[in-house]
Amino acid sequence: MRFLDDRVPAHDLTYDDVFMVPRRSSVGSRYDVDLATADGTGTTIPIVVANMTAIAGKRMAETVARRGGLVVIPQDIPASVVADVVAFVKSRHLVLDTPILLRPDQTVAEVLSLIPKRSHRAAVVIDDQQRPLGIVLEDDCVDVDRFAQAHQVMRPVEVLVDADTEPRKAFDALDDARAGG
């Protein structure tokens, strides 16, 4: 990264202060890029995600931002949509992935189309008051009629903890209930 006119600001910058300018590179393909960090952790999360409509969407922006990276929103996206995406990303929990929420009457076909959109590969079935009723994992949908409803394949809620619960207390609650996946 470099600053335009090679002027380094005397103060810290936030994502709101910068504008990313594309530049030609000698890299022939994105597959030629080694994303491994130099710190030995083996992390391969990109620092900046390309401004391609199929890649740099709301889910990618949320995930990468949670891990400290940047997503370049494509320039052909209306400013109002970009503002909505930025507001959405900034409103997300800093550690926990946003869950996929389902109504009890949604079909297994819908469940299977949504579950891959999150790394945790699960969806939460909620009632009209947004309270969790159960959870559906991909395995719960194997050999099930695609028109079956989520409430027919969901597992009941065994443990419920607040998103801001201290990790050790959340683990203890899970361990006490012997909940497993």
Last residue within a domain, chosen from 70, 91, 112 = 91
Please give the helix or strand (H or E) that residue 82 lies within, else none.
helix 79-91
Q: Does 83 share its domain with 35?
A: yes
Last residue within a domain, chosen from 91, 114, 137 = 91
Joined together, the tokens standing for residue 124 give 């939460």
Give the per-residue pLDDT at 90. 92
Q: Does 111 share its domain with 69?
A: no
Give the per-residue pLDDT at 46. 62
State the pTM of this model.
Answer: 0.62
Q: Which domain holds residue 48?
A: 4-91
Question: What is the C-alpha separation between 123 and 117, in angstroms, rounded?
Answer: 10
Give the per-residue pLDDT at 163. 85
Which residues, listed in sequence order, are joined to residue 48 by a DSSP beta bridge?
70
Q: Does 49 share its domain with 108?
A: no
Q: Does 56 share its domain with 13?
A: yes
Please give the helix or strand (H or E) that residue 49 lies within, else none.
strand 48-49
Q: Does 51 share its domain with 77?
A: yes
Last residue within a domain, chosen from 64, 91, 118 = 91
Give the per-residue pLDDT at 133. 96
Q: Does 77 share its domain with 145?
A: no
Closest CA to 51 of 85, 28, 17, 26: 85
Tens digits of pLDDT across the chain (181 residues):
677 777 888 888 776 777 777 777 888 887 787 767 666 666 666 678 877 766 777 888 888 888 778 888 888 889 999 999 999 999 998 878 888 999 999 999 999 999 988 878 899 999 999 999 999 999 999 999 999 999 999 999 888 888 889 888 988 888 888 755 4
Q: Does 156 share its domain with 108?
A: yes
Q: Does 162 share its domain with 110?
A: yes
